[in-house]
């Protein structure tokens, strides 16, 4: 059985998602008890939500001219507390999605940079080896080297090229 790396980030995200529900329940309880919280965060969003919901329902039924009665305070506080709780859960889920997206993009960017660095190193090595071969050919033409010395240097360059290939390329042969 193969065991991969422990996904700590995914475990943290899952923990945050599960902690949001009790946090939302506590916020709902505070919203029902606190007068300041009721007036600021519960009643007006609930009335606005009720207004839009009822207008949409009236339009679907074909009753465009009917006025919408506002909710009473108890119903508005209850609906507002539910909306605040759902908003907290939504924000937590959105934060988890944003975190996972930024983590994945950072990983892919890091991999891309590593790949570019490897390619650059290989290109530099290829340029150096090409220069060495050209130098050997030039020296051979000017007859400063004998043929066995050129063959030995060419074979050592070829061996160096073969030994620096990635593992995957060697396994395919």
Q: How far is CA 31 from CA 50, 72, 78, 85, 101, in A?
A: 18, 16, 9, 9, 32
**What are the tens digits of pLDDT across the range 122-145?**
999 999 988 988 888 887 777 655
Note the pLDDT tens digit of each residue in 84-99.
Answer: 888 888 888 888 888 8
The encoded tokens of residue 61 equal: 């039924």
pLDDT digits (tens, 9 = 90+) for 27-57: 778 877 888 888 888 888 999 999 999 988 8
Contact by Cβ (8 Å): 27, 77: no
Which among 162, 140, 141 has a CA at the least distance from the CA of 151? 140
pTM here is: 0.57
Q: What is the rounded distance in angstroms from the CA atom of residue 132 to the CA atom of residue 153?
A: 9
Q: Answer positive or negative: Cα dihedral of 31, 75, 61, 55.
A: negative
């Amino acid at each position: 059985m193969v065991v991969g790396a422990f996904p700590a980030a995914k475990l943290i995200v899952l923990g945050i998602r599960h902690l949001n529900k009790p946090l939302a329940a506590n916020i709902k309880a505070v919203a029902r008890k606190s007068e300041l919280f009721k007036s600021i965060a519960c009643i007006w969003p609930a009335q606005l939500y009720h207004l839009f919901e009822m207008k949409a329902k009236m339009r679907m039924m074909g009753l465009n001219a009917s006025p919408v009665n506002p909710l009473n305070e108890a119903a508005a506080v209850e609906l507002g507390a539910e909306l605040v709780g759902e908003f907290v859960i939504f924000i937590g889920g959105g934060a988890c999605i944003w975190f996972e997206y930024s983590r994945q993009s950072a990983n892919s960017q890091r991999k891309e940079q590593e790949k570019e660095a490897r390619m650059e190193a290989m290109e530099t090595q290829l340029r150096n080896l090409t220069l060495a071969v050209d130098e050997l050919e030039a020296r051979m033409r000017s007859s400063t080297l004998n043929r066995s010395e050129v063959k030995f240097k060419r074979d050592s360059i070829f061996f160096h090229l073969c030994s620096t290939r990635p593992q995957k390329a060697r396994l395919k042969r």
